[in-house]
Structures are given as structure tokens and as C-alpha cells.
């Protein structure tokens, strides 16, 4: 015997009218969305963008970042330089396989590697996603994010919050249920 749900209109459609009033209220209010490519929101200070910034003068070639990477995306090749220091010959990050977990940035003891704030970095070829030494240098378009870098975090602009753009001044029935 098939089970059947019964249509019950015992409240004369008052529930549906109540729902429509919610819709009407929101229809008359301000739009909370932004049209994306024209208007961009400010990302958070600790934003983990699809990008890295590397500072060759700070890097000692210790390869702690390479050891902490879960996927093994960071490639560091060094040779013995002057006065017991290492010269970094290769520093490569394969952002095509990267999950941007930020463990490499967290583990860097010299603040030489930072995550970037860019997020529109599509490429036509996979090879373009492998960032090498000169791709990773800081520039106008490649700015470091404040993830695990409190000094940089302080200087960054304030994040746009939906909470502030579409907040309500007062709650209707107190603070809790």
C-alpha cells in the first residue's frame, strides 16, 4: 500500500502569505550582492590567495617549507656559497597541485615566504602554474598577505564584511531564543 502525504490547507493559506511577506520585505530592501568583475571586495588581511611571495634576501635555503608541505610541492635546490651560507639555486612552487593550506608559510623561520593576496591567476597551460624564483618576487601585482605575518597584517586594508553591508540595527525579539 503506497504511503501518501495529505495536502492540508487548514489555515486558509496564511502560512504562504507570511512567507510572501518575508520575500516582499527583502525585495524592497537594499541589494546585498555586488556585481563581481566590476566591483571587487577587499579580501581579509590573512587571505590565502592563489599566490606566493618569496624574499631571496631573507631565504637561507633551509627547506623547512619543503619539508612541511603535505604534497611536496616546494622544490628547493641549494649549493654551498660563501661563509657557510647556502645559495638558493632553485626555488619552485607548483601552485597547480597546491591546496593553499599555508603550512609552508607557517613553518618558515625567517619570514622569507609569504602567501599572496591575488586570486585571479588562471593559466592556459599547467606549466604556467609552476612558479620559479623570478616569478615569486614581490611586485606591484604580487603583494604578500598577512597570514602568519603579523607585521604585514597590520598594514593591510580592512576586509569588507557582508555583516556590515547587510546588517540589521536591532533584533526583533531580544538576544536569545
Angstrom CA distances, 142 to 5, 7, 33, 139, 176, stand at 59, 59, 27, 5, 45
Pick the closest to residue 66 from 52, 48, 82 (CA basis).
52
Q: Is 28 exposed, middle or buried (0-12, 13-18, 19+ CB in 10 A)?
A: exposed
Cβ 76 to another protein shortest distance, Å: 17
Give me the 144-173 binding string for another protein, x by CB under 8 A, dash otherwise. Answer: -x-xx----x----xx-xxxx-xxx--xxx
Site for another protein in 118-137 (CB under 8 A): none
Whether 95 and 52 have beta carbons less than 8 Å apart is answered as: yes
Site for another protein in 29-58 (CB under 8 A): 32, 43-48
Q: How many residues belong to the site for another protein (CB under 8 A)? A: 57
Rounded to a whole number of angstroms, the minimum distance from the CB of residue 166 to another protein is 7
Q: Which of residues 15 and 128 has its CB atom nearest to another protein in the complex?
A: 15
Please state, in angstroms and rounded to a whole number, the distance separating the CA atoms of residues 33 and 8. 37
Q: What residues make contact with another protein under the rule CB under 8 A?
A: 1-3, 5-11, 13-16, 18-19, 21-23, 26, 32, 43-48, 68, 70, 99-103, 106-107, 115, 145, 147-148, 153, 158-159, 161-164, 166-168, 171-177
Amino acid at each position: 500500500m503506497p504511503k501518501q502525504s495529505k495536502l492540508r490547507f487548514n489555515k486558509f493559506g496564511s502560512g504562504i502569505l507570511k512567507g510572501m511577506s518575508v520575500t516582499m520585505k527583502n525585495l524592497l530592501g537594499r541589494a546585498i550582492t555586488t556585481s563581481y568583475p566590476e566591483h571587487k571586495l577587499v579580501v581579509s588581511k590573512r587571505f590565502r590567495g592563489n599566490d606566493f611571495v618569496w624574499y631571496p634576501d631573507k631565504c637561507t635555503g633551509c627547506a623547512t617549507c619543503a619539508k612541511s608541505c603535505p604534497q611536496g610541492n616546494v622544490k628547493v635546490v641549494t649549493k654551498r656559497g660563501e661563509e657557510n651560507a647556502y645559495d638558493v639555486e632553485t626555488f619552485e612552487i607548483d601552485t597547480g597541485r597546491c591546496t593553499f593550506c599555508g603550512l609552508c608559510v607557517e613553518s618558515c623561520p625567517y619570514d622569507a615566504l609569504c602567501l599572496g593576496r591575488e586570486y585571479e591567476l588562471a593559466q592556459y597551460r599547467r606549466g604556467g602554474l609552476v612558479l620559479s624564483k623570478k616569478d615569486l618576487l614581490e611586485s606591484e601585482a604580487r603583494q604578500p598577505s598577512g597570514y602568519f605575518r603579523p607585521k604585514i597584517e597590520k598594514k593591510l586594508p580592512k576586509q569588507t564584511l557582508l555583516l556590515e553591508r547587510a546588517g540589521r540595527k536591532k533584533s526583533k525579539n531580544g538576544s536569545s531564543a
